[in-house]
Chains A and B, each alone.
Chain A
Amino acid sequence: MMYERGTQVKDVIIKHDAPSTVFLDKHADYIAVYGSKKDDYEYTLSEYLRMSGIYWGLTVMDLMGQLSRMNREEIIEFIKSCQHDCGGISASLGHDPHLLYTLSAVQILCLYDSINVIDVDKVVDYVKGLQQDDGSFVGDKWGEIDTRFSFCAVATLALLGKLDAINLDKAVEFVLSCMNFDGGFGCRPGSESHAGQIYCCTGFLSITGQLHQVNADLLGWWLCERQLPSGGLNGRPEKLPDVCYSWWVLASLKIIGRIHWIDKTKLQNFILACQDEETGGFADRPGDMVDPFHTLFGVAGLSLLGDEQIKPVNPVFCMPEDVLQRIGLQPDLLS
């Protein structure tokens, strides 16, 4: 904790010997072997999100130009076996389908340009069936509503070229009803603004061509106030910085045309300090244990900041720009 005139400012302190260059080769080595040790404790306990875990690993490898080191055939077979009769896709074998993992699966198949190994029409039906009367989306048949799922729905359909399958006007109406006094967005109408939800909602509005409805100046201010003295970004006021917010916050700022409101150098220093020089990979904050999730968002954040050793990343989809160009998907961003 740092103290400033008697009031605690939650932040971290970056040591002077923290890493200051990016070790892309180490990170690629870390990801390449992650998951090969199938009897690993963390790996097994995170089975419930496996599809997303694979998406994080593949995307960061592709951004580093190392996608070929991953086992394409095995992964494609895995995805095929995770599509259920209803069309939805689960995180892993034996788990139930959900919109979150349906999106991750579609993203992976786009990276591999193999979207037709699954039944695309059934995926579209599944997504369509999750839209509610008020325009919102539930995550699965059990009824949880969240703007994250609005994003998952339109992102999935956009990647499949089937955005017209849902009621877009109603979907937009619901997301806009989640806009708050500070210009941000929460999970549901009335929910507090949170950087992750803001990423989902600005991404949603970009895909649906409705970014002009955002108050970019107000939201941009809230977002740039996420930057703490250490240079890192938090997810909402009075919280600790975390490298994954280098993605949620930064991508949101990029989408609304205000990325220059962040101190780029200080953020870069923070992200680099989150690397583990020994093991490769990024942690949530300097000195902590690494994982693939933070590794993706650390690298993606650096890409958004302009690191030329990393492929350009699309701020809406968190996928390499060249993949989206191949698909022909270039969602609008505010300037």
Chain B
Amino acid sequence: RKRLPPRVSVWYYWSMGITYTMFHGRVKVKSTAQQEEEKRKEREKKLKVFVSARDAVLKKRSAGENDEEALQLTQQLLSSNPDFATLWNYRREILMHLETLGEKEDVQKLFETELNFIEACLKVNHKSYGSWHHRTWVTARMPRPDWTRELSLCDRCLSLDERNFHCWDYRRMVVKASGVSVEQELQFTDRLIGSNFSNYSSWHYRSTLLPQLHPQSASDSAPNASSSPTASPQTYSHRVCEEQLLKEYELVHNAFFTDPNDQSSWFYYRWLLGRAEREEMISCVYVSREGETVAVAFSKPDHALSVGLMLVLDGQPLQVDWRSAHPRFRHSPVWLCDLPAGCISDINNEHSLTIHWTEKHTHRDCALYAGSVESWCRDTATDQELFRSELSVEKTSVLQAELQSCNQLLELEPQNKWCLLTIILLMRALDPLGHEKETLAHFQTLKEVDPMRSSYYSDLCSKFLIENTILKMEYAEVRVFSLSNKNLTTLCHLDQLLLVTHINLSSNQLVRLPPQFAMLRCLEVLEADDNAIENLEGMYNLPKLEEISLKNNHIFLNAFLEICKLSDLEVLASCPKLTRLDLRGNPVSEITDVQFQLPQLLPMVVSLSL
């Protein structure tokens, strides 16, 4: 098969603001000595022309000459070198100078001519940052910009390449400057989506237009929802009123049924299914009489000091120092403080505690009763709409119909990973616990049909299993979290396990107990046998932890398979009540004299198994 001769490519790719006309898509071809010589001569000639023009231009500029000749020279160079940014700068200087010389009409003509020139440059290279920015500069500056013309340029450009983001960005500027309506632009995306394959840019544009046109009404949105004007579009799913949202499902549905392998509609669909940003709130307050500590959990990671956390005990504000659960994190969902010694230690006393979040004008109360060693106040995962949104009757019926259709599609295309993943997401939106078995089966299939992303699917499946376990735990009103033998590859939602006393993660594929594990402030017993754990960072300062079982892990097996450092176990010394530790079946057992050294490192551990 003959290969194409090397040529300056018409594909331009992005690279830190530099468009490479010469470094992209140039196929390497073997040619004869004669062909090489001819090529060399041609390039030498081209180079001479370029250098001569460039030197002339820079000389004129140094001399401060802003004249017609300079316009000519820069024109000659820019047409085929639009990334030579300094030339556009010079051109702007010349134009600004000429502006001062002419009447308004002359200036208008001057800039109109400039627009013609830019269009010619765009024809050669429709992806040069320099050309598009110069056009933006010109239209912003000219007496009477013709926005209709500009919009038409965008239409033509996008019909040649619907993914040209320079053009889309320019279009957005034109729309804003000329007051084109959001409806009109939505219709524009309708037309493109209906007629083309490569639609990602159009779906993306829709995601930004919908919330502007069909915002959620004030009564719909949650009371403390973040209402910053710069809130990102990924939160807008909730911000689109439900009627429009349901219509949008139909639009996307048609798209992926027309072409089930067009990935853009599946990405967009995931966004439609996605949850809205939860309202920011204090989700849990926990008080320990014995430890004389208070733990506060936020609905999302934040910084206690900057959000203004204030503690009031029995009606008196208390000055306390807040710290995150693990020193690694400046932003954390869980914050801790120590109460002054003795102020709640008497078991016969009742206390009332209030945590104020001054920035959000919200607070949580927590009563510590006489005779109680601890107390808490917590919204459940369901209350918080942690894992799925409240569904209206209409939305439920739409999603159920969608699930049915996707299942039909899956029968026709059993290897379609987009369909498989979407079915999983639909099931989770409708009934995460009810569909658990099917979900696991689909994940298995996903890993088979899309093996490159196995790790992603394993982690996502782990996340969903953890969510389900949290829900089950809450329904059963117990403080035991048990998820063993489930191929767990990652841990998440650890901020929801603040009240858990027993955790069983045995027989999984975990490689670490991450720093976030330090948020399990009530943990008494940890079972994590038969994993691949090589990192115990998260076993930090757990005040109630008494027993750890870590049989058959990789403590500590590093990449070089060298002798592990005993000092990596030092973190366990930060757990004051730790008395039982089982490390059988770990590389650490192989260290010489470990049975003497380890007790010195962890003197309070009375039952040590190696």
A interface residue numbers (CB < 8 A to B): 4-9, 39, 41-42, 44-46, 48-49, 52, 90, 94-96, 98, 100, 139-140, 142-144, 146, 148, 173-174, 176-177, 179-183, 186-194, 196, 209, 212, 215, 217-218, 220-222, 224-225, 227, 231, 235-239, 242, 244, 258, 260-263, 266, 276, 283-284, 287-289, 291, 293-294, 335
Contacts and interface: CB of A to CB of B under 8 A. Distances in A.
19 contacts: A7-B262, A44-B47, A46-B23, A95-B85, A144-B129, A179-B232, A181-B237, A182-B204, A189-B230, A192-B205, A196-B14, A212-B331, A221-B456, A231-B452, A263-B453, A266-B452, A283-B28, A293-B15, A335-B515
A294 B168 contact: no
B263 A238 contact: yes
> Which of A42, A49, A217 has the most CB atoms of chain B within a 10 A radius of its CB?
A49
A187 B129 CA distance: 11
Contacts of A263: 451-453
B86 A196 contact: no
Contact of B50 (A45, A196, A209, A215): A45
B259 interface: yes
Contacts of A192: 165, 168, 200-201, 204-205
Contacts, number: 195
A180 B204 contact: yes
B452 A196 contact: no
Contacts of A283: 28
Contacts of A288: 24-28
Contacts of B129: 144
Given A139-B17, A196-B16, A238-B198, A177 B230 contact: yes
B36 interface: no
A44 B18 contact: no
Contacts of B485: none
A238 B259 contact: no
A209 B168 contact: no
B204 A193 contact: yes
Interface string B21-65: 011111110000000000000011011001100000010001000
B89 A238 contact: no
Given A176-B232, A190-B172, 7 more contacts: A90-B86, A95-B85, A144-B133, A192-B200, A261-B453, A284-B24, A287-B3
Interface stretch (B148-156, B264-272, B284-292, B307-315): B264-272
Contacts of B322: none
Contact of B23 (A8, A9, A284): A284
A38 B5 CA distance: 25
B207 A180 contact: yes
A212 to B, nearest CB: 4
A236 B133 contact: no
Nearest to B267: A182
A284 B86 contact: no
A209 B328 CA distance: 12
Contacts of A224: 453, 456
Contacts of B20: 291, 293
B127 to A, nearest CB: 12
Contacts of A5: 261, 413
A242 B83 contact: no
A7 B25 contact: no
Contacts of B335: none
Max chain B CB contacts within 10 Å: which of A190, A225, A227, A263? A190
B13 interface: yes
A48 B83 contact: yes
B574 interface: no
Contacts of A49: 18, 83
A181 B271 contact: yes
A250 to B, nearest CB: 14
B261 A7 contact: yes
A288 B261 CA distance: 29
B455 interface: yes
B274 to A, nearest CB: 8
B333 to A, nearest CB: 9
A190 B540 CA distance: 42
B102 interface: no
Given A196-B14, A236-B200, A260-B455, A48 B84 contact: yes
A188 B40 CA distance: 42
A224 B515 CA distance: 25
B85 A96 contact: yes
A196 B50 CA distance: 31
A201 B89 CA distance: 27
A319 to B, nearest CB: 14
B261 A4 contact: yes
A100 B17 contact: yes
B421 to A, nearest CB: 9
Contacts of B234: 179-183, 215, 218
Q: Which 4 A-B pairs have the closest CB atoms?
A: A181-B207, A179-B232, A263-B452, A7-B261
Nearest to B81: A45
Contact of B47 (A41, A52, A191): A41
Given A46-B22, A100-B16, A182 B271 contact: yes
A258 B490 CA distance: 11
B143 interface: no
A44 B267 contact: no
B212 to A, nearest CB: 10
Interface string B485-520: 000000000000000000000000000001100000
A225 B165 contact: no
A90 B232 CA distance: 34
Nearest to A292: B23
B169 A188 contact: yes
A201 to B, nearest CB: 11
Contact of B236 (A98, A181, A260): A181
Contact of A42 (B23, B62, B81, B230): B23
B301 interface: yes
Given A215-B234, A217-B463, A289-B6, A222 B267 contact: yes
Contacts of B86: 48, 90, 94-96
Interface string B568-600: 000000000000000000000000000000000
Nearest to B23: A291
A194 B15 CA distance: 11
B455 A41 contact: no
B27 A237 contact: no
A266 B3 CA distance: 26
A174 B230 CA distance: 8
Contacts of B197: 7-8, 238
B232 A94 contact: no
A177 B234 CA distance: 10
A45 B22 contact: yes
Nearest to A195: B14
A276 B168 contact: no
A222 B271 CA distance: 12
B163 interface: yes
Contacts of B172: 188, 190-191
Contacts of A291: 20, 23
Given A192-B204, A335-B514, A96 B89 contact: yes
A244 B13 contact: yes
B109 interface: no
Contacts of A52: 16, 18
B273 to A, nearest CB: 12
Nearest to A183: B234
Nearest to B300: A212
A45 B47 CA distance: 8
A238 B28 contact: no
